[in-house]
Structure formats: structure tokens, C-alpha cells
Amino acid sequence: MRFKDRVVLVTGAGRGIGRAIALAFGKEGARVAVNDLNLESASSVVEEIKSMGSDAIAVQADITKLGEVERMVEKVKSELGSINILINNAGYWTIKLFKDTSPEDWQKDIGVCYIGTLNCCKAVINDMIENRYGRIINIVSDAGRIGEPFLAVYSGAKAAVIGFGKALAKEVARYGITVNNIAAGVTKTPGVESFLKGVGGEEKLIKAYPRGRLGEPEDIANGVLFFAADESEYITGQTISISGGYTTLG
């Protein structure tokens, strides 16, 4: 039980990568707050965690709205305790050539990926500073480091999160708080189903992945547990790719 009684908030955890992260912490004895826009899916993840014998609550909030995030964090504090580990996972992407995007598309991608991350960090950081302990892990994308066509606005939003994470890491390292980014490669979740169809199916894409398969949500969750571990307390401001060798940036 590596995370026994640590309080963890995972955003966008009703399905996909966030769900796998929430379950991984539940398995390790953490007290897990499962956030999503969709209360029904968050509640079903909570039931899965409770069946493992760990404590969990569902917290519905739109992370793009600071007021909702602040209320969510208060609820987590009163029901589970002060948040020790924040996983900024919720994301949104518009798949279009940039020339075809609208300001509404920009607002959605930047709102969920970047502003959502800022809101959640803002709502927990003072408690983490006071507690002299914290782990913040942002689920980003290699699109934010290498740029992906059809995902230009999303690439920029994830690049913003990476830069923010590095800077925040330097501001809060002295308080025992680490901030790291995990850049996922294509990972099989409900959110990428239409993307996979659009690129001609999984088999076609796999050819570009040296490991010979696409990512599973659990691959990303394993990386999250690594950064969250006590043993990783000297690792901060870093971005690693979990993509089976697809992206090999230094």
C-alpha cells in the first residue's frame, strides 16, 4: 500500500486515463476524489475503488470554472482531508486544421487543458505549501513538444501546461512539492476512438510505435505512481514521454 491514506484528486477521472489513474491509487490505499463533468461515470469509478477497500468520493465540477474547482476542493477537504496529490488529467482536443478552427474551439482546448490546470493548482497550492508536501502531475501530450497537425491549438495548450509546470516546480520545490508532466502518446481511451478511425485505424498507427502497440491507460497510470512516490521527491520540473518509444526527446 504505497499511498495509504494519501488524499488524491484526479480530474476527468470518469473514464480513460483518469479512471486508470484513480483506480491505481485506490489499489495502493489512497483516498481518492474522482472528478468529472459526468457525475454518473465518476460515481461508477468510486464504486470500483470502494470495492478494493479504499475510500473514494465523486466530485462533479467543470475544471474550467475556478469557483466550481474551489467548491470541489473544499468538499474533498471536508470529506477526505487536505489534498496531497493532484493529477491534472482532464483534457479536450479539437481535431481540425488550424485554418478551420474557431475562437470557440480555441476556448475549449485552452480552457480545459490549460485554464483547468491553473484553476486546480491555484485551489490546492496554499494547502500543499502549508503542509510542506505535495505532488502535482500534469497529463500532457507529446503534441505539446513536437507539434501535431490537426491538433495545433491543443499542441499549444499542452505546451503551455508544460511550461507552467516547469516554472511552478521551481517556485514550490522548497516546500517539498514536486510538479512533473507526463506526455502521453496515443493511448486507447474512449476519447481517441474517433481519432483512431480518422487515421485509418489502430493497425496503421501501430507501425510508428516501436513497442508494437498503442498505450493503455494503465501505462500512463504507472508513470503517475512513479512521480507520486516518496522516492521521487528529488525529481521535479520534468517531462517524460510514455509512448512506447514513439517520442524520444531528451
Ligand X SMILES: NC(=O)c1ccc[n+]([C@@H]2O[C@H](COP(=O)([O-])OP(=O)(O)OC[C@H]3O[C@@H](n4cnc5c(N)ncnc54)[C@H](O)[C@@H]3O)[C@@H](O)[C@H]2O)c1
Active site (catalytic) residues: 154
Q: Which of residues 205-234 bind ligand X (CB under 6 A)?
A: none
Residue 73 and residue 77: Cα distance in Å, rounded?
A: 6
Instruction: Take residue 62 and report the three cell numbers written for it.
Output: 467543470
Q: Which of residues 112-151 bind ligand X (CB under 6 A)?
A: 112, 116, 139, 141
CB of 150 to ligand X, least distance (A): 13
Residue 42 and residue 53: Cα distance in Å, rounded?
A: 17
Nearer to ligand X, 50 or 188 (CB): 188
CB of 62 to ligand X, least distance (A): 5
Q: Which of residues 1-60 bind ligand X (CB under 6 A)?
A: 11-12, 14-18, 35-38, 41
CA dist 224 to 8, 49, 71, 139, 195, Å?
12, 17, 25, 9, 24
Nearer to ligand X, 133 or 246 (CB): 246
* Other CB atoms within 10 A of residue 3 CB: 24
- The residue type of 188 is K
Element (H, E) at 35: strand 31-36
If binding is defined by CB under 6 A, does position 90 make contact with ligand X? yes
CB of 46 to ligand X, least distance (A): 14
If binding is defined by CB under 6 A, does position 92 make contact with ligand X? yes
Nearer to ligand X, 133 or 187 (CB): 187
What lies within 8 Å, CB to CB, of 116 at 6+ separation is 11, 63, 64, 69, 88, 90
| Residues within the interface to ligand X (CB under 6 A) | 11-12, 14-18, 35-38, 41, 62-64, 89-93, 112, 116, 139, 141, 184, 186-187, 189-192
